[in-house]
Structure 1
Amino acid sequence: MDKRNNSFKFDFTPIEQAIKDARKARGMTREQLANIVDYDIRHLQAVENEGQYPSIELFIQLITMFDISVDEYIHTDRRAAKSSVRRRLDTSLDRLDDRELSVIEATVNGLCKAKEETEE
């Protein structure tokens, strides 16, 4: 007799959204991703939009390919060292030269200053 606890429910929605956002951030279509991971495009659509759980193989492929940290989604009571968004941003920033980074730095400084002013 199967004594596993099958009542466990996990909300996959935040992870599926992170996968979708990461794919789009790379400028990749779902069709391109389907060709890379060798899965049907309809299956990827179901994973991204309909809450279908991917196989563990596909899940690992996607989180590895898109550098997604699942800790922030599984251990919601703990703060991850770096969110997936921050990790993707770090990867993108690594491709910029110092001149381009100074533009980003000025933008961030402006956003921080505006946020401080609205909080006062």
Structure 2
Amino acid sequence: MRNRKDNFDFRPIGHTIKEARIRQGLTRKQVGEIIKIAPRYLINIENKGQHPSVQVLYELVNLLDISIDGLFLTELTDGKSNKRKQVERQLDYLSDNELVIVNEVIQAILQV
């Protein structure tokens, strides 16, 4: 069996789950008790982009009344491609010095 690297950045979905949970006034512990998962697992989904099982994702979107289309088809609603949004999110992890380098690379590409 070959090793497969997950290319899908789950952090935006985790953030959406967190926002919906907070909006409904539920704690991680409460959600965990309802859908039978550890609060630590939910923390990792919400904050670190851990990929939940399909069953857990299904239970979360039903409990928190989240549109599954909105999670995966955001490109249709905001006009930005998933790749563009992924690059934007990665920029948040760069230092100011690293952003200067990225900006210079972008400027060089645009001049071609």
Find the aligned partners of 1:71 and 1:18 in 2 and give their Cα distance.
12
Q: Does the CA contact (< 8 Å) of 2:45 and 2:51 recur in 1?
A: yes
* Corresponding residue of 2:28: 30
Question: Which of the residues 56, 59, 71 maps onto 2:57?
Answer: 59
Higher relative contact order, chain-length normalized (CA < 8 Å, sep 6+): 2
Following superposition, which runs of at least 4 residues in structure 1 exceed 3 angstroms of deviation? none
- In the alignment, the residues of structure 1 paired with residue 76 and residue 36 of structure 2 have an alpha-carbon distance, to the nearest angstrom, of 34
Higher helix share: 2
C-alpha RMSD of matched pairs (Å): 2.1
Cα distance between partner residues in 2 of 1:7 and 1:46: 18
Match of 1:17 in 2: 15
Give the whole-Å Cα distance in 1 for the aligned partners of 2:8 and 2:49: 10
Please tell me whether the aligned partners of residues 37 and 58 of structure 1 are also in contact (alpha carbons under 8 angstroms). yes
- Structure 2 portions without partners, runs of 5+: 79-112
Shift of residue 40, structure 1, vs aligned partner: 0.9
Structure 1 residue ranges without an equivalent (≥5): 81-120
| Separation (CA, whole Å) in 1 of partners of 2:43 and 2:29 | 10
Greater C-alpha radius of gyration:
1
Match of 1:78, SS state, is: helix
Identity %: 37
User: Superposition pairs for residues 44-83 of structure 1, below 5 Å?
Assistant: 44-79=42-77
- Contact 1:15-1:70 within 8 A present in 2 as well: no
Amino acid at match of 2:70: E
